Amino acid sequence: MLLSVERINVSYGRARVLSDVSIHVNEGEMVFIVGRNGAGKTTLLKTIAGFLSPEEGTIRFGSDKVNALGPEEMALKGVRYVFQDKRVFTKLTVRENIQLAAYAAGVSLSEAVDKIVQLYPPITRFLESKAGTLSGGQRQILLLGRALIGDPCLLLIDEPTEGLAAGIIEEVFKVLEMTRRKVSMLIVEQNLAVVRRLADRVYAMKEGHIVAEVNTPEDIQNQTLLEEFL
């Protein structure tokens, strides 16, 4: 088991946001979390990424307990977080955005650029442009590509297709499909079409709790089962 979250509780001040949450991700698996707004999906990702600390419970990455690690330490362990808001470093060029990730991962810039170009060849046209000038979809692909530099073990991706046009969702889908099995992924997603096409397992969240685990292909493809949780 690559990631194991065992009965964690997380609060913002006095407000309990996650209660008794347990999930796991195996190596090479693509696991989705679905649920309505406010269910605690993003909080769960942020807690695993080291941005928040659980008050109770345990987070294990491999055999290590990682409850107290910060985001930079989790990143060094091979856990990368792709934010929901698609915010790249807008004042840097696309190349500099890639360089930043390459430097952190100890990978050469050319190797890092090649990796992202393989995922999304049109990016070559924008390498010297400010990342702030990219479209939402291009930014998302840049963020995904940047997260993949240095061969991470686990990607935490928050709503990768939110707010994107249908055409570019397909591009994002292709990137996720290309990296499937090479790296484990825990993805928060509301777009059930994407979930059905990619998921190995699905957790459903409601009001800070895990309310269901859907782990058979038949149930994942079931047209009504997942919709109940949205």
Partner 1 sequence: MRNNFLEIVRKVDILFIGCAFLLLAPVLTVQRTNDFIIFCIFVLAYNLLYGFMGRLSFGHMLYFGVGAYASALTAEHLSANPFAAIAVALVAGAGTGILLGPITVRTTGACFALINLAFNQVGYFLALIALAKWTGGEDGMAAFFDNIWIFDLGNRYVVFGFSLLCLLLVVYIMKRLTSSSFGILLRTIKENETRAKFLGYNTFRYKLAAFVISTTLSAFAGALSIINYTYVTPSFIDTTRNVEVIFASLIGGSASIYGSLVGGISYMIISNYLPKYIQRWEMFLGVALLLLVFRFRSGLWGYISETVEKYALKGARE
Q: Which of 22, 62, 67, 100 binds partner 1 (CB under 8 A)?
A: 100
Q: Which pair of tokens denotes residue 41?
A: 């999906």
Minimum Å gap between C-beta 197 and partner 1 is 27
Is position 107 an interface residue for partner 1 (rule: CB under 8 A)?
A: no
Which is nearer to partner 1, 46 or 201 (by Cβ)? 46
Question: Residue 166, class by beta-carbon neighbours within 10 Å (0-12 exposed, 13-18 middle, 19+ buried)?
Answer: exposed
Q: What letter would DSSP give residue 67?
A: T
Q: How distant, in Å, are the alpha carbons of 5, 71, 133, 212, 226 from that of 206? A: 17, 26, 37, 9, 12
Q: How many CB atoms lie within 10 A of CB 85?
A: 11
User: Could you say whether residue 140 binds partner 1 (CB under 8 A)?
Assistant: no
110 binds partner 1 (CB under 8 A): no
104 makes contact with partner 1 (CB under 8 A):
yes
Q: How far apart are CA 230 and CA 60, in angstroms?
A: 29
Mark the segment that binds partner 1 (CB under 8 A) among 5-13, 53-61, 97-105, 211-219: 97-105
Which of these ranges, 29-37, 73-81, 183-191, 215-223, lies near partner 1 under the rule CB under 8 A?
Answer: 73-81
The β-bridge partners of 59 are 5
Q: Which is nearer to partner 1, 83 or 173 (CB)?
A: 83
Residues lying near partner 1 in the complex (CB under 8 A) are found at 49, 51, 70-72, 75-76, 80-81, 83, 87, 89-92, 96, 99-105, 146
